[in-house]
Amino acid sequence: MQPEVQRACGVVGRCVRSVCAAAWAMGRRARGRRFQQPPQPEGEEDGSDGGRKRGQAGWEGGYPEIVKENKLFEHYYQELKIVPEGEWDQFMDSLREPLPATLRITGYKSHAKEILHCLKNKYFKELEDLEVDGQKVEVPQPLSWYPEELAWHTNLSRKILRKSPLLAKFHQFLVSETESGNISRQEAVSMIPPLLLNVEPHHKILDMCAAPGSKTTQLIEMLHADMSVPFPEGFVIANDVDNKRCYLLVHQAKRLSSPCIMVVNHDASSIPRLTVDVDGRKEILFYDRILCDVPCSGDGTMRKNIDVWKKWTTLNSLQLHGLQLRIATRGAEQLAEGGRMVYSTCSLNPVEDEAVIAALLEKSEGALELADVSAELPGLKWMPGVSQWKVMTRDGQWFADWHEVPQGRHTQIRPTMFPPKDLEKLQAMHLERCLRILPHHQNTGGFFVAVLVKKAPMPWNKRQPKVQSKSAEAREPRVSSHVAATEGNPSDLSELESQMITGAGDSVTAHTTENTESNEKKDGVCGPPPSKKMKLFGFKEDPFVFIPEDDPLFPPIEKFYALDPSFPRMNLLTRTTEGKKRQLYMVSKELRNVLLNNSEKMKVINTGIKVWCRNNSGEEFDCAFRLAQEGIYTLYPFINSRIITVKMEDVKTLLTQENPFFRKLSSEAYSQVKDLAKGSVVLKYEPDSANPDTLQCPIVLCGWRGKASIRTFVPKNERLHYLRMMGLEVLGEKKKEGVILTSESAASPEQPEDEEDAKQTAQDPCVPDSIPGCDAAAAEPSR
């Protein structure tokens, strides 16, 4: 190479390196500016002011403000005429406004009315004459169509909540009560599907696409409508295809402490058909209620997910239609005759809505029909479903009929996306019974709901796969039962289902024998499916091991707490097959049945509530296990010993002080506690109906009776909840002393204990929780 060329190459190389270095430095400075911005809270499910947050950041955060315009969106929906004439401008204006925040008070807990009373008479009253920046604050209003005033909406944004001390206190109340499971911050329209399911406590429910879990919690509440029944006959199986989102689902469900919820991880379009044991024979599990809230393009969520403005195209709907139809079909197959299935999307597009329903009704051949639910939610404004629509490609090309679609687009546009051509058949479908909620009618998001009732088995399931009883299975080879199940079922789904029913991969007799032997060795152990049966993704779950009847672990517990003979000990389980059992969980007998009969078909993420925790020094107190607050409301009806009845003043003392001495309790409580042996206790408050100004809901707390003092084991947010319900304003918490400061304790500060009492406290037996207000093993990962 010539020297001149070498020099030129060197100059060019240096220039390129300089440009790259400058670009890297600019990027670093931009990232630095981004990180210096105050952290913005992530959008909740209600997504109250997502649009405004992005707008405020502007270019400062490295992103331009999103313009809330999409000409293709407007052209598409104007052509489809889903918005009534003369309302288009209102419709578009409402889409550009931030979504109001909405909250729902959990309805099944006995103190829901107390929370409502507290909200209306304290927090809402304080907002009535409040002004922030010269603007009058709007007081929250109840949703007119939600029963018993248990759902409210407000236009307060997070920015406004931070500006006034009164509003900040209200915000703190919402956050704390949400963590306790007493309030759910949920978008208004997403509350509709569970209401239309008409759930009864005995219903078996499948939630097919459940995460993040707000609708699932509604279903759990409905199961526990009668709080005097600790174990309703029904249950909820909540499924999601995304392993990580399943753990979000677990977190939501755990707040309600129900033994009737199971979280599983499957593709909803091929969720396995389960079997249960009925009087010694296996029967297919059909669900009484199914919630089918499918993945969708989400153009009804533009008010909270402002990215939709920029990304929206009809291609999203065309790509999702097939999946939505497969999920709905799978749900219909597993629905019991006479059962009800709700199909819902947060999309306004008929391709995802009426097209799916019409295709499902057509292929059901009369087995399904749309229910008329127009009178079930009085006060809710909705538009009837449409019976005529067209399909548009992403480049704006319209097709009114499948026959107009060119061959090259047949993989993208399918026949089921169009309305049926037979007008008589179309009319008989009654698509007008579908509900479409438009944002401008009641200041909500956009939504679509259809309620389907099953009148007969689906046509391809007329001959249900035979399921052998246990005795028959023992007599006949498994191979023949597999053949009998699949014979005469030409459907591509049936063969798969029959394999699932008789046991995954049981076409080879050798494998079956192997599995039977291993099941005999590990009776009552419900582990994850073997890898050769099902490919697992995400985290490997611990097994679910039911406590055997002859386990020596249980009699000391039974004796210590004087458990009632009706206590369902067979429903106790642990999550380990070896070593010490540290936590004991409980499920309903119906979920136990499901777990034991389907461990090879399902990937179970979580089920059961924690009822007992091992205490490291528990053996010296006659019982190695102490009560867990998470499951106390389920367990309490069976406990006949170690119950201390306390008054309201006692509850205040116990919740605001870490280790109050016996003498600080009322004389009635003192007389009960002084003769008790050391160990775990139940603290029960019964409301006084003669004094309506006091707290009018029962409270059950877990505690520990020490040598000279007593303490509660209640999570912090739950403590704060009970204190608020008793009218105490929580001011803060002293970290070292573990004392919660309230308006009363601040007015009359505690006198220090004498040295002798302090020495006695130090000698009190220590239980695993060293942090006040935390339950045992609270630091462990959520199972």
The 3-class SS string of 419-440 reads: CCCCHHHHHHHCHHHCEEECHH
How much is the pLDDT for 728?
A: 80
Q: Is the dihedral angle over the CA atoms 73, 75, 79, 81 positive or is it negative?
A: positive
Full-model pTM: 0.80
Q: Report DSSP letters for 187-202, one per residue.
A: -GGGGHHHHHH---TT
Region 435-449: mean pLDDT is: 96
Element at 252 (helix H, strand E): helix 243-254
pLDDT at 757 (0 to 100): 39
Round the CA-based radius of gyration of the chain to a whole number and report it. 30
* Over residues 420-449, mean pLDDT: 95
Q: What is the mean pLDDT of the segment spanning 134-146? A: 87
User: Is the confidence at residue 747, as pLDDT, over 60?
Assistant: no
Residue 91, Cβ neighbours under 10 Å: how many? 20
Q: How confident is the model at residue 636 (pLDDT cuts 50, 70, 90)?
A: very high
List residues bridging with 152 in a β-sheet: 103, 142
β-pairing, 383-384 vs 391-392, is unpaired
**Are 551 and 557 in contact, with CB atoms under 8 Å apart?**
no
Q: Distances in Å between the alpha carbon of 319 and those of 331, 417, 505?
A: 20, 11, 32
What's the Cα-to-Cα distance from 402 to each of 398, 411, 428, 681, rounded to whole Å? 11, 12, 21, 70
pLDDT for 282 = 93
565-574 residue pLDDT tens: 999 999 999 9
Kindly state the percentage of the chain with pLDDT values over 70: 73
pLDDT for 741: 53
The amino acid sitting at 642 is R
Is residue 242 scored above 50 in pLDDT?
Answer: yes
pLDDT of the residue at 483? 30
pLDDT, position 23: 52
Q: Is the pLDDT of residue 504 over 90?
A: no
Q: What's the pLDDT band for 18 if we cut at 50, 70, 90?
A: low
Q: Give me the mean pLDDT over the 654-680 stretch.
A: 91
Length of the chain in residues, anyone? 783
Is the model's pLDDT at 743 over the cut of 90?
no
Least confident of 253-262, 483-492, 513-522: 483-492
Give the DSSP letter of residue 636: G
Per-residue pLDDT, 510 = 34
The pLDDT assigned to 46 comes to: 44
Per-residue CA distances from 198 to 291, 756, 759 (Å):
11, 60, 58
pLDDT of residue 13: 55
**Phi-psi group of 506: left, alpha or beta (phi > 0 → left; psi -120 to 50 → alpha; rest → beta):** alpha
Query: Phi and psi for 671 in degrees, rounded to 5?
Result: -65, -30
Which of 685, 682, 681 is CA-nearest to residue 666? 685
Residue 99 has pLDDT above 70, yes or no: yes
Contact call for residues 287 and 332 (beta carbons, < 8 A): no
Return the higher-pLDDT residue of 538 and 418: 418
User: For position 638, what pLDDT does the model report?
Assistant: 95
Q: What mean pLDDT is predicted for residues 314-331?
A: 96
Q: Which residues are catalytic?
A: 346
pLDDT at 295: 96
- Phi, psi angles (nearest 5°) of residue 171: -65, -40
Q: Which of 131-145, 356-370, 445-459, 763-777 has the lowest mean pLDDT?
A: 763-777
pLDDT per residue as tens digits for the range 50-64: 444 444 433 334 456
Q: What is the pLDDT of residues 23-60, one digit of tens each?
A: 555 554 444 444 344 343 333 444 444 444 444 433 33
Give the integer Cα–Cα distance in Å for 269 and 771: 45
In 3D space, the residue among 450, 360, 443, 351 whose CA is nearest the CA of residue 392 turns out to be: 351
Phi, psi at 662, each rounded to 5° = -55, -40
User: Helix (H, G, I), strand (E, B), or coil: what is residue 710?
Assistant: strand
Cα distances (angstroms) measured from residue 734 to each of 565, 656, 728: 44, 10, 17
Alpha carbon distance, N-terminus to C-terminus of the chain: 67
Nearest to 573 by CA among 582, 563, 586: 586
Residue 111: pLDDT band with limits 50, 70, 90: confident
Q: What pLDDT digit, counting tens, does each position of 169-218 carry?
A: 888 888 888 888 888 889 999 999 999 999 999 999 999 999 999 999 99
Q: Is the dihedral of CA 359, 360, 361, 363 positive or negative?
A: positive
Say what the pLDDT of residue 522 is. 52
Distance of CA 460 to the CA centre of its chain: 33
